[in-house]
Chain A
Amino acid sequence: MACIEARGLRKAFGTTIAVDSINLRVEEGRILGLIGPNGAGKTTALNAILGLTPYQGELNVLGRDPWTERDQLMRDACFIADVAVLPRWMRVWQALDYFAGVHPRFDRAKAEGFLAKTTIRLASKVRELSKGMVAQLHLALVMAIDAKLLVLDEPTLGLDILYRKQFYDSLLNDYFDRSRTIVVTTHQVEEIQDVLTDIMFINRGRIVFDCSMEEFESRYLEVMVNPEHIAAARALKPIHERQVFGRSILLFDRVERQQLAALGDVRTPSIADLFVAVLSNQSGAAQGGTR
C-alpha cells in the first residue's frame, strides 16, 4: 500500500494556484525530499497531506482522507511544521505528560532517553531554550512516537550547521527504519542528499522532476570539461552548462561514463545543481512554447 497517494491534488488561494493538479505516490519506507523554490507549493501540498487545509482532488494518506480524519491520521503520522511552533509557555515535562496523555503511540521513556543526550532540562520552558534546543526537543518528542509517516517542513530552518547535522544524524540513526516513511522539505539540499531515497522537484505548483536516488546516481553525470573538448562535449547534448572558475561544467542525462571520462573530470552532480538545471530548462521551454 502506498503511504501517500494523490490524484489531481489542487489547491487555489483566490486566483493563485498553489498546487496545480499534482499526482503523487510515496511508497512505504522511503525518505522523500520535496525540493522547490519559495512559493512553489511545497508547504501547501504538505498541509493538504496533513489535513491542515482543504483541497480539491483525491488524496489518501495511510488509507485515510486527511481533511476529514485529521485526528485519526495523527495517530500514525506526525509532523514538524517549523521550529517555532512549540508553545513558548510549555515546560519540557508538560510536553512529555501531554504527549503521553493523548498519543497512543508515544513512548515517554524513549523521549526522555533522547533528551538525556542533550542539555535540555525537564523543568525548562520552551521560551528559555535556544532555537537549536527547541528543534532537539521537538525531534525528541516526534521520534518517540511510533509513527508510520513523518513530515518535516523546513525542520532545520534558522539552525546553525552543528544542530542541522545532528538533527539529520539522529533522525537516520535513531529513528528511521525501512517501515517508516519520511517526507522532508528544505532549502539546504546538500545536507540531505545522502539521507534521501527519493527526490521530487516542485515548481509553481507542479511536480517537474521525480526520481529515486539510485536512478539519479546512475542517470546524471557532471563533467568539468577540458577546454579543448568543449565542442565535443556540447555535441553530446548536456542538459545544463555552467561556468566555474573559467571552466565549463556540463550536466548530462543518460550518457555513458566512459564516453564522458575522455572529456574531463566526471562526478555525480549535487541535487542542487540538477535542480537548477531542471528549473532553468523548464522556464526556457515555457518561453519557447509561447513564441
Chain B
Amino acid sequence: MSAPSNTVPGSPLESQVTAPAVITASRRMYWSVRRELWEHRSIYIAPLAAAAVFLLAFLTALTLSPAHRHEPLDIPYELAAALIMGTGFIVGIFYSLDSLYGERRDRSILFWKSLPVSDLTTVLSKFAIPLVILPLLSFAMAVVTQFVMLLLSTAVLAGSGLSVGTLGARMSFFHLSLMLLYHILTVHGLWYAPIYGWLLLISAWAPRSPFIWAFLPPFVIWGVEKIAFRTSHFLGMLQYRLTGPEPSTTARSGNLMEMMSALTPVQFFSNPGLWVGLAVAAIFLAAAVRLRRYREPI
C-alpha cells in the first residue's frame, strides 16, 4: 500500500519544492480509523450509555432490595458485560451497513477520494471498527463497569456490617475479565468477521436501503429452502454463525458467553468453521474494495 518510492519521482521540478513528509500505511490507517470515530460517535456513546443505565439499575437494586445482597453476585456482572457487548454488536451492525453507503449518499465519497488514501485502506479501516475497535471499547467499558459495581457492592456490604471477604472469595474479578477478553477477541474479532464483511459489502453495493438488501436475501433463501426442500440447512448455518462453535461437553442451557469461553483456544482455532468464515470475510472485503472503486455518489 505504501510505496515510498512513488513520492520521489525524478522530475527536476521536485527538487525545488520541499520534500514531502513520508506517510506510512499505518499512519494513514490510524487517521482513517480516527475519522470514523469522529463521524460515528455512537461507537463509544452507545456502550457508554448502556453502562451508565446498567450501573443506575444496579445501584437501585442494591439500595432498594437488601434481600438480594446475600445472593451470589456474579450474575449481574455477566449481565453487565453482555449488555455492553450486545450494544456494541448492534452498533457494529448499523455502523457497517451505513459506512460505505453513507459516503455515497452524502456525496462525500468524492472528497475522500480526493485524498491519497486507497480504497483498501478505507475499507479496512471501516472493517476495523466492528472487528477491533468496538470489541476493545466494549471490553474496557465492561471491565470498568464491573469494577464500579464491585466497589458499590463492597461499600453497601461494608455498610450493612457483612464481611467483605466473602464477596471477594466468591468473585474472581480478574478471572471474569480474562474470560471476557478471550470471548471478545475470539467471537467478536474473528468468528463474526464474515457477518461484518457481508454488511460492508452490501453497504458498498446497495443502490438504496442497504438494510433491506442485507437482511432480505438470507430471509428469501431460508424461505425458498423451506418450501422447496423442506429443510433448513441455511438457517442452521446462520444460527451456527451467530451462536458460535459449541463445545461438545457443554449443554445448550448455559449462557452464550460461558459456552464460547468454555472452548479452549486449541478447540477454537482448530474449528474449520472459523477458517471458512475468515475466508468468506476476505472475499466479501475484496469485493467491497473493488466496488468502492467503481461506485459513484447516488
| Chain A positions near chain B (C-beta within 8 angstroms) | 1, 28, 47, 50-54, 63, 70-75, 78-82, 84-91, 94, 97-99, 101-105, 146, 148, 179
Contacts and interface: CB of A to CB of B under 8 A. Distances in A.
Interface of B: 3, 6-7, 9, 11, 13, 16-18, 20-23, 27-28, 30-32, 34-35, 38-39, 103, 106-108, 110-111, 113-119, 121, 293-294, 296
B31 A75 contact: no
Given A103-B116, A179-B13, 10 more contacts: A71-B118, A78-B115, A82-B107, A86-B108, A89-B38, A102-B27, A102-B32, A102-B115, A102-B117, A148-B13
17 contacts: A28-B13, A50-B114, A54-B294, A70-B293, A71-B118, A71-B119, A71-B121, A74-B115, A75-B6, A75-B7, A81-B111, A87-B103, A94-B38, A102-B116, A102-B117, A104-B21, A146-B18
A98 B11 contact: no
A98 B36 CA distance: 11
Chain A CB count within 10 A is highest, among B16, B110, B294, for B110
Nearest to A54: B294
A81 B110 contact: yes
Given A94-B35, A179-B16, A103 B107 contact: no
A1 B11 contact: yes
Contacts of B7: 75, 104
Nearest to A51: B113
A90 to B, nearest CB: 7
Contacts of B114: 50, 74, 78-81
Given A98-B31, A98-B35, A71 B108 contact: no
A79 B121 CA distance: 20
A98 B117 CA distance: 11
Contacts, number: 101
Q: Which A-B residue pairs are the 3 nearest by beta carbons?
A: A101-B31, A104-B20, A71-B118
B27 A101 contact: yes
A267 B87 CA distance: 71
Nearest to A94: B38
B21 to A, nearest CB: 5
Contacts of B293: 70
Contacts of A94: 35, 38
A146 to B, nearest CB: 6
B127 to A, nearest CB: 17
B23 A87 contact: no
A102 B23 contact: yes
Contact of A85 (B110, B116, B121, B294): B110
B39 A103 contact: no
A72 B6 CA distance: 7
Nearest to B113: A52
Nearest to A107: B18
A99 B107 CA distance: 18
